[in-house]
Every structure is written in structure tokens, then in C-alpha cells.
Structure 1
Amino acid sequence: MNAAAITDPERLWSAQEVLMRPSPVPAAAGVYGWHFKEAPHADLAVGSLLYVGIAPRHMANRTSTQNLRKRVRYHYRGNAAGSTLRLTLGCLLGLELRRVGSGKRMTFGRAGEAALSQWMAENARVCWIEQNEPWTMESELISQLDLPLNLDQNRHNTFHDRLKELRAQARQRARELPISA
């Protein structure tokens, strides 16, 4: 496992670089790591790796069709319904989560998602490593590193319960509010 490519990368990529065409992010399987210039919460370290993710996601009976390029680009410009990283960051930054559409999906609404994208453009930097079976490396990284924004497989992290509670509170508030247009 070459964890240094994620924990101490030679290069970190900005939203502007990742979203340009052609994108520097490979359309391949792999692991990505998110580093932040400004921490999204006062209890988190500035300038450090806080989250790792993978593409494709490995499930019991199939593998998703995602790749590094699709996943990383989505995190930078998507919404909280399709990105657990965006959901987490928005909750930590105090954005209001709302039910949208039929009421089953939750996002931060147009303004909130735009504010989150702007915050990420200013503060979030990403790196990646191509890996044929990224789920193996993800598990190793989560078990060995302090990755406070990862919830899955990360109950041992000191920030886990606080983050889980913040996200649960945001979802509960969203359920109590009317569906947003």
C-alpha cells in the first residue's frame, strides 16, 4: 500500500483544475484523499487529510460504475444527496439541509450547495492513486489514519460520534421543514 500518495502527496488538485476539460483525474478505479486549507469544524486539524473515498464502490454482489474522475468531480460540484463528503461538510459548516423533489432526497438547496461548492473551491484539495481494488486500500487507510470525516468503518475515530450526531440532527431538522422547491 502506497499510503504516502494520499497522506503526503506530491500534488494536491483544486476544484478549478479538476473541473477543467480535459480533466486531470483519470477515468480509472482508485482511492482519493481530501485535504483542507481551512478546517470545516473547529475540532479538526487545518491543512490535513480528513477524508478518503473510493471509486468504484464495492458491494456484495456488484461493483458500481463510478470511476475517480466521475466521483471527484461530483464531490466538487454535485449535491449532498449524492455525496456523503458534501453532506458532512455542509452539516459541519452549518448549512441548512432540506428535503427536495419528492421529499426523499436531502440537499442544501441551490444557495446552500452553491455556498458549499464555493467553500470547497477555496479550501478543499484532492489527490488520488489508481488502484484496481480500492476498497482494500480504503479499509487499511481508515483503520490506520485519523480520518475524522469518514463514518463507514471508522467507529474508532474520536470525532465519529460527534459527526454522526451532527448529521442526524440536520436530517431530523430537514424532516420537520416543508419540502423545498
Structure 2
Amino acid sequence: MANRTSTQSLRSRVRYHFRGNAEGSTLRLSLGCLLDLELRRVGSGKRLTFGQTGEAKLSQWMADNARVCWVEHDEPWTLESELISQLDLPLNLDQNRHNAFHAQLKEIRARARQRARELPISA
């Protein structure tokens, strides 16, 4: 995020990944698609989530399987590009086209979005 400023704190971003929904969290979107949860249009039909049941299943899966850690750094934005280029981070799509899983994950997410657009809006 060297050229983008986040208005959220690390705590709020992590909390949203664990408690939010697929519309606001690219991590939740990727994990839900990989877990074969059904992505649906909700509300006005512009938002895409896994619905209440799917989001609850995803939250439980994350509580059971996902872990978060971090290190403090005075200028963390200086590290992001370097870390993405050096580590195998298959779920990170931003700046990560070199990853072997990048194209496959993009395709899985695109198919899920297309299916969601073909289904009726969920309540």
C-alpha cells in the first residue's frame, strides 16, 4: 500500500476479515470461494456475500483454521511489495501476479461472481 493510505487501523481491518462479509473482505471472498460457499447478490443486488449462513460457516472455519500475527515497523508500507515478491502468499492477489495460484484464484472468484449474478437476489 505504498501509494494508498488506509483510514482503518490494523485491528479494524483484521476484525472485518474475521467478522465481516465477502463484499468488504477480499480474504473472505477468496476463502469462501475456495470452500465452495455459494456467493449471492444481497440487498439491492449490487453487494455479493455468502449470505448469513455462508458467512457464519466461513467465520467458524476461520476461527478454527486462520491465525493472525504481525510485527511492528515504523514504515510498514515500505515492506509490503518486498514481502509479496519474496513470500508464497497464494491468497494475496494485489501485486502477486507472479504467484502460481494467482490466475486460478482469479478464475474461481470470477466464476463465483458470474454464478451469483445469474441467481435471484437473496434475502
The normalised TM-score by structure 2 is: 0.94
Partner of 1:95: 37
More helix by share: 2
Report the Cα distance in structure 2 between the residues aligned to 1:134 and 1:173, rounded to whole angstroms: 37
The normalised TM-score by structure 1 is: 0.65
Give the deviation of 1:101 after TM superposition. Answer: 1.1
Give the deviation of 1:132 after TM superposition. Answer: 4.1
CA RMSD of aligned residues (A): 1.4
Moved over 4 A (4+): none
Report the Cα distance in structure 2 between the residues aligned to 1:123 and 1:176, rounded to whole angstroms: 31
Report the Cα distance in structure 1 between the residues aligned to 2:84 and 2:90, rounded to whole angstroms: 9
Task: Among all aligned residue pairs of Structure 1 and Structure 2, give the percentage whose two residues are the same amino acid.
Answer: 80
Q: For residue 18 of structure 2, what is the amino acid of its counterpart?
A: Y
Which one of 107, 112, 116 corresponds to residue 174 of structure 1?
116
Query: How many pairs align?
Result: 123
Give the deviation of 1:58 after TM superposition. Answer: 4.8
Q: Which runs of 5+ in 1 are unaligned?
A: 1-53
Q: Secondary structure at the match of 1:128?
A: coil
Whether the 8 Å contact between 1:148 and 1:159 is mirrored in structure 2 is yes
Pairing of 1:37-48 with structure 2 (within 5 A): none
Q: Which runs of 5+ in 2 are unaligned?
A: none
Whether the 8 Å contact between 1:58 and 1:64 is mirrored in structure 2 is no
Give the deviation of 1:107 after TM superposition. Answer: 0.4
Moved more, 125-134 or 152-161: 125-134
Give the deviation of 1:150 after TM superposition. Answer: 0.6
More strand by share: 1
Give the deviation of 1:85 after TM superposition. Answer: 0.3
